[in-house]
Amino acid sequence: MDLVIRDARVIDGTGGPSYRADVGIEDGRIAAIRREGEPRPSGARVLDAAGLALSPGFIDMHAHSDLALLRDPEHTAKAAQGVTLEVIGQDGLSYAPVDDATLAQVRQAITGWNGDGSDIDFDWRTVGEYLDRLDRGIAVNAAYLIPQGTVRMYAAGWDDRPATDAELARMKRLVAESMEQGAVGMSSGLTYTPGMYAADSELTELCRVVAGYDGYYCPHHRSYGAGALQAYEEMVTLTRDAGCALHLAHATMNFGVNKGRAPELLTLLDEALDAGADISLDTYPYTPGCTTLVAMLPSWASEGGPDAILERLRDEATAERIRHHMEVIGADGCHGVPIEWDTIEISGVAAPGLADHVGRTVADSAARAGEAPWTTARRLLIEDRLGSTILQHVGHEENVRQIMRHRVHTGGSDGILQGAKPHPRAYGTFPQYLGRYARELGVLTLEECVAHLTARPAARLRLPDRGLIREGYRADLVLFDPDTVAAGSTFEAPRTLPVGIPHVLIDGRFVIEDGRRTNVLAGRSVRRTGR
């Protein structure tokens, strides 16, 4: 064997009891699993894993590393957590498929998520070309979802109107071509423009194309606030009609209107599952959310794209309409709930001169300036050219715990790596699950928790040789200390690396060794297989 991991506590991803074994690796795959009492394999290298748990590599079902994978070859934020595969292209907005005009627009629209891309050579336009770019060598593996908002932008622009027959036909061709090139499914951001302008009938047609390639639909649906349950039901109905598998992105129940209402969501999902629906979901193990400040605006204020948004914000009368919609009515960008500025914390800015706002709520910054919160928020949006990111403190711990226990739950960080003070989930999601929610709180057993982070997401992605510790499977593996593993990241120090994860392997190669990042770039694109 190339490597033998000796005397590990194997947590194999099935959710069943762990066991003691030696695991041999050869040519990037698990070649032997020998339990206590069986003949021990020999290897060119032997790693003593006494006291450590060995699990499959963790799969981040909701990542925003679309440019970070190219910008930061080490990508320690994810590798150090034991993440060996990320699913990117989330929330309906990413960088392929595009033409030149669409690329320029999407770069500006999601600067808050990924930076403006001025340090990236955008030498691709199609999904296949983007995946080829990843294949030059990245820190961890990556699968890609077709971003429906980008597709709509490409085919129909930023107008709030139904797509024409010709535009819908073009969108369907783009989706089909992208699936053929290796995408695993399609995402939407239905509180983000222009994807939110699509009617259910349009989304159903696109989902039918995705279903034809055995892919899945991953919507950030139309409300996580006032209309959350109706929005979940809408996605269940839509994918049932399309015959498409459904994966619910960051499946939370937020804002005061949803406190204690997770059981209603879980009942809805159980009824659909029992009727034969193919549904899964992901969550992050924290209560605050994270997005961009511009996402809070009403959709009508975002029609036409970033330049049109800025023009409206500069116009006094229109800006007052936006304020009234956000503070009194409840904008669809803020999930139909009147915005509470003391829950909106600025986590990052694109313009260095605005750095004093980072780590403060909009309400706090406004009080310091002696002005109304909307005045502060409006100025931030204009001066930062829509690049500000926020934490939104609107979640409920009891909802988080109940949803993570569900039979189709998986883990996703929703980690935005931009900004001076990002959400700690970007650096801490997976050790937070293992340390806080499994070991400390007992919400899940350790074996259950590992299954949620490995085999379940691998099954959703239709991956035949990942997510379990079995002979013949890829040696994407994590060694961690069950007694000490914990997230180091906090809201005060969000870029702190976790503890208790000394070794991470991808294809049998160490990307984390003795707690330190190696120079290995073992990651590649993980493309859709079969039809």
**Residue 338: is the preceding peptide bond cis (ω within 30°)?**
no
pLDDT tens digit sequence for 375-399? 999 999 999 999 999 999 999 999 9
Residue 531 Cα distances to 89, 197, 457, 521, angstroms:
20, 29, 19, 29
CB 354 within 8 Å of CB 379? no
User: How many residues comprise the chain?
Assistant: 531
Q: Residue 290 and residue 276: Cα distance in Å, rounded? A: 33
Residue 314 Cα distances to 228, 322, 334, 381, angstroms:
32, 11, 21, 10
Q: Residue 429 and residue 186: Cα distance in Å, rounded? A: 23
pLDDT for the residue 77: 97
pLDDT for the residue 530: 57
- CA dihedral in degrees (480, 486, 491, 496; nearest 10)? -50
pLDDT for the residue 419: 87
Residue 147 Cα distances to 110, 214, 244, 464, angstroms:
12, 17, 16, 25
Tens-level pLDDT at each residue, the chain (531 residues) = 999 999 999 999 999 999 999 999 999 999 999 999 899 999 999 999 999 999 999 999 999 999 999 999 899 999 999 999 999 999 999 999 999 999 999 999 999 999 999 999 999 999 999 999 999 999 999 999 999 999 999 999 999 999 999 999 999 999 999 999 999 999 999 999 999 999 999 999 999 999 999 999 999 999 999 999 999 999 999 999 999 999 999 999 999 999 999 999 999 999 999 999 999 999 999 999 999 999 999 999 999 999 999 999 999 999 999 999 999 999 999 999 999 999 999 999 999 999 999 999 999 999 999 999 999 999 999 999 999 999 999 999 999 999 999 999 999 999 999 889 999 999 999 999 999 999 999 999 999 999 999 999 999 999 999 999 999 999 999 999 999 999 999 999 999 999 999 999 999 999 999 999 999 999 999 999 755
pLDDT tens digit sequence for 131-156? 999 999 999 999 999 999 999 999 99
The DSSP H or E segment spanning 506 is strand 503-506
CATH topology of domain 58-288+394-465: TIM Barrel (3.20.20)
For 193-239, give the secondary structure using H, E and C: CCHHHCCHHHHHHHHHHHHHCCCEEEEECCCCCCCHHHHHHHHHHHH
Q: Residue 514 and residue 6: Cα distance in Å, rounded? A: 15
Phi and psi dihedrals of 403, rounded to 5?
Answer: -70, -40
* Beta strands 509-513 and 19-26, pairing class: unpaired
Would you list the domain boundaries of the chain? 58-288+394-465, 292-392
